[in-house]
Amino acid sequence: MKSPLASTALFHLGPVPVTEAVAVTWAIMALLAAGAWLATRRLSLQPSRLQACLELIVETVDSQIRDTMQAEPPPYRAFIGTLFAFIFVANWSSLVPGVEPPTAHLETDAALALLVFIAVIWFGIRAGGVGGYLATFASPSPLMIPLNFIESLTRTFSLLVRLFGNVMSGVFVIGIVLSLAGLLVPIPLMALDLLTGAVQAYIFAVLAMVFIAGALGEAKSNKRTPT
Amino acid sequence: MTIDWWTLGLQTVNVAVLVWLLARFFWRPVSAMIAERQVAAGKELAEAAARQAEAEKALADIAATRAGLAKEREALLVAAAAEADKERAARLEKATREIAALHDAAKAAVTKEREAALASWRGHAATLAVEIAARLLKRLDGAAVRKAFLDELLHEIGGLTQAQRGDLAGGALELVSAVPLTDAEQAQCRAGLAQALGPDLQLAFTVDAAQIAGFVLRGPRLAVSDSWRGDLDRILAELGDDA
């Protein structure tokens, strides 16, 4: 059995190896982008069932952003919503026979965590400026600067590890059970893996919102009362 | 466990591109449509609220118009009642006046008619009385009565002024009696008149039975009467004046 920790290059584009996770990610990107384009071609004020479902998704994401971040959704909707949609679809891509979820690979989860890390910095600076954002590391005391800096790294690392651990473990367990018990035995575990995948997508998106909201709140307060 | 940095970079770029793609093709169009629908719904709500306000205003106007109509109707009824009362009072007053006028006219007509009847009956009564008196007095027409009337005539002539006597005696005189006078009586009359008016007397004797008794002396400009006819005519005239 192949180790889920190993990344196998399908082919190379020059010096760049294209792994299976990258290829599946491209497929997911194509699927989501094409689906979004097809679904939103004929939007109207009198919504169809499909349009109503799409609007329900958007409004749900907006509602979550409002509830979690206490902010208006438009600046964060695309990032948070896309994170959730990509992780959700990537986790559930294991339903396709022979496809391994990209999130079961460390590089994909690290890329997602890295994007969240960058987004926290970006939205923090946009809300409070560079000074305001950097001042958040000195909150509540300059003595906390090292700890806050380490915290910003470790929480990003925790995002990476949490998602990777849950998805990878699911795939790993299903692979082991499949190799030991037979064809239909892993089905309950696969159903549990689907639930875990949906929950992990939600948790990742919510944690991203929490981290960004934390940076926003502190940066804004530092901008209003410069020290 | 090792990390493939190329894959990490590719996946980072991939997810960033996916964020852009979905923002371009999903999140923005759908959220824009939601916002557009919210704007349209808000506009329709505003229009509905405006229509509702307009309807409420129209309703209030109708209510005010109804109230005004009721008030106007009440005012018209009051005015009509006042006009009717005024007209009734005017007609009543006019009728009262007309009744009073008719009553007065009827009363005046009755009074006039009664007076006319009374006068007529009085005239008839007087005429009858004079006729009765004349018939009765005819029985008294004797020499003594004529002598008494002659004396009374001479007495009246004696009471005339000198000018009246001149007017009386200025021409031929006519002595009217009810019955023809005897010669002696004519002589007696001529003597008495000559004594009263002077000796140059042109006297003629005529008879008028209507005089009943007594004499009438007629001159050219003056006449002196002392007869029962004259007395009865005078009494009759007085009775007529009294009536």
The residues that bridge with A13 in the sheet, in sequence order, are A16
pLDDT of residue A187: 85
CA dihedral for B70, B72, B73, B79, sign (positive or negative)? positive
C-alpha to C-alpha distance for B19 and A119, rounded to whole angstroms: 12
pLDDT in tens, A133-191: 888 888 788 888 999 999 999 999 999 999 989 888 888 888 888 888 877 777 888 88
Residues of B in contact with A13 (CB under 8 A): none
How far is the alpha carbon of B34 from chain A, nearest alpha carbon, in Å? Answer: 7
Per the CB < 8 Å rule, is B29 touching A16? no
- Cα distances (Å, whole numbers) of residue A72 to A66, A75, A80, A99, B12: 6, 8, 13, 37, 26
In the structure, how many helices (H) and strands (E) does chain B have? 6, 4
Which token pair is B219? 């001159």
- Cα distances (Å, whole numbers) of residue A167 to A7, B2, B18: 15, 18, 21
Strand spans (E) along B118-213: 173-177, 203-207
The residues that bridge with A11 in the sheet, in sequence order, are A18
**DSSP strand pairing (B203-207 vs B173-177):** parallel
Q: Considering chain B, what percentage of its residues have pLDDT values greater than 70?
A: 98
Per the CB < 8 Å rule, is B31 touching A62? yes
pLDDT of residue B165: 78
pLDDT in tens, B197-235: 877 778 889 998 888 888 888 888 788 888 888 887 887
Which token pair is B107? 């009363």
Classify residue B24 by its DSSP letter. I
Cβ proximity of A219 and A124 under 8 Å: yes
A16: Cα separation from own chain's centroid: 24
The residues that bridge with B203 in the sheet, in sequence order, are B173
C-alpha to C-alpha distance for B194 and B219, rounded to whole angstroms: 14
C-alpha to C-alpha distance for B124 and B145, rounded to whole angstroms: 28
Q: In whole numbers, what is the pLDDT of chain B averaged over residues?
A: 86
pLDDT of residue A206: 96
- Give the other-Cβ count within 10 Å of B175's Cβ: 20
Residues of B in contact with A17 (CB under 8 A): 4, 6-7
pLDDT of residue B242: 65
Interacting residues of A214 by C-beta distance below 8 A, sequence separation 6+: A120
Q: What is the mean pLDDT of residues B164-171?
A: 76
pLDDT in tens, B109-155: 888 888 888 878 877 887 787 778 777 777 776 788 888 888 888 88
Strand spans (E) along chain B: 173-177, 203-207, 214-218, 223-227
How high is the ipTM of this complex?
A: 0.91
pLDDT of residue A4: 57
For A:118-157, CB contacts with B below 8 A are: none
Cβ proximity of B165 and B157 under 8 Å: yes
pLDDT confidence of B1, banded at 50, 70, 90?
low
